[in-house]
Structure formats: C-alpha cells, structure tokens
Amino acid sequence: MSRIFITGSADGLGQMAAQLLVKDGHQVVLHARNGNRAKEALAAVPGAETVVTGDLSGIAETIKVAEQVNKLGTFDAVIHNAAVGYQETKRIETADGLPHVFAINSLAPYILTCLINKPKRLVYISSGLHKDGDATLRDLEWNIRSWNGYMAYADSKLHNVILAFYAARQWPDVYSNALEPGWVATKMGGPSAPDSLTEAPKTQVWLAAGNEPEVLVSGKYFYHKKLRSVHPAAADPQVQDRFITECERLSGVKFPA
C-alpha cells in the first residue's frame, strides 16, 4: 500500500481521489486551506491519516504546508490537485503581489515540488485548456497584459504540464506525470459540465498508486488513463528552464539539484 499526500482535498476531485485511495487501503494525508476546511475534509474522508492546513495563495503559507508534510515523514506520491478556476473578472492580487490564479495553480505546486521530500511519484492535475496557454511565458504576473481570467487559467494549466515534465527530466528516479480529468460538474466546473464525474478522479489515483506498466512512466500526459497529446512547448527543455527560472525568481525557492 502507498502513502499519498493530496493538495486541495477538502472538496471536489481532490476529495474524491482521497476517498478512492482510502477505500483501496492506502494511507492518505489531506490538505485544506484553514482549520474549518480541515475539519470538513476529515469528516468527508473517513480513514484519512490526517490533514495539513495552509492557504496556497501565499508563498510563506505554502512553505509551511511543505514543512508540515515533511514532519509527517516520507510519501510514495504527491497529487498536486489544488486549483482555482477562471471566473475571476479582474486581477486579484495576493499578499505577495501575484495574481491569485498564478499563485495557487502555478507557483504553489512549484514550491511544494521543491520543498516536500522527494516522493516516488508526482501527479499534476492540468486541463485540456492548457493547449490555449501562452508558451512564451511572458508577463506571468499579468502586470502588462489586460486581465483575462480564461487565459490566466489556461496559462496555469500549461505551467502544470511544464513543471511535471521538468521534474521528469531532472529526477529520473521519480515518475512525474500530468493529466486532465475532463470538464466535470465540480464547484469549479459548474453544473452543466459534460464529462463523467465518476471517471474524473480515477486517473490521478491510478498514477499515484497503480502498478500496471502503463503507470510506471514519466513525462507523460493522460486523460482517463490513456495517453493524450500535449502542448508541444511543455516538452521543450528551453521553455521548461525558463518557467523554472521565473518560479525561482518569484518565490525565492530554488529547484533542488
């Protein structure tokens, strides 16, 4: 059995993945934004080992989340699930002066990847919308561009794939992959989303704890347990290096050698 940490597991697909993993006998550590959400998370996932708390919109709190996780010991897998959608009609600035969407969806997974003791597997939740993301990586802070919530979200989901593929390149001893769960009727996806909510959490569970040969790969992108095409820039080492350099600059956290 595996020990797995899941960000953003107080509700939605993170919670559903946690429930499936616990049902299969795995040890699961949850994450929630604050204490009240933590209580809700534990109530919704009976059998979870524990929960760590921290608001991933802030660099300092994200670092504290990593510290909490490391105090719990080692993990076989980390599922980077936490994200916000693209309903924001204006640029919402975090305490660090960053766009809310970028801070949570892009920078927090980077910081956690750098600081959490290296697991055997890394799983990043992206979206089919990543193909609309801006591969130039210009103006990640949205200081120059006119705010566009859809594009900010698409950019962040491209960033998730870039990070997954960079980790796969840097750490050959880790299985690092990304996936899209489909457009499903979660709080983020909305009630009219057409894809299967039942199928949506299964690929991340499979990548985190499965033992089939199809799972024991790295630098791949999946949809419903099948390989799927990806934005070509995500696999470009120059694009990856540029993204990591920007994340280092903005967070002050360096990717481990």
Catalytic residues: 153, 157
Residue 147 tokens read as 């705010």
Q: Say how far apart CA 225 and CA 136 lie, in whole Å.
A: 29
Q: For 137, phi and psi rounded to 5 degrees?
A: 60, 25
Asked whether 34 and 10 are in contact (CB, 8 A), the reply is no
Query: CA dist 171 to 107, 118, 122, 166, 174, Å?
Result: 19, 9, 11, 8, 6
Question: Token pair 């949570």 is at which residue?
Answer: 104
Phi/psi at 176 (nearest 5 deg)?
A: -120, 120
* Coil vs helix vs strand at 231: coil
∠ CA 3-180-221, rounded to 5°: 80
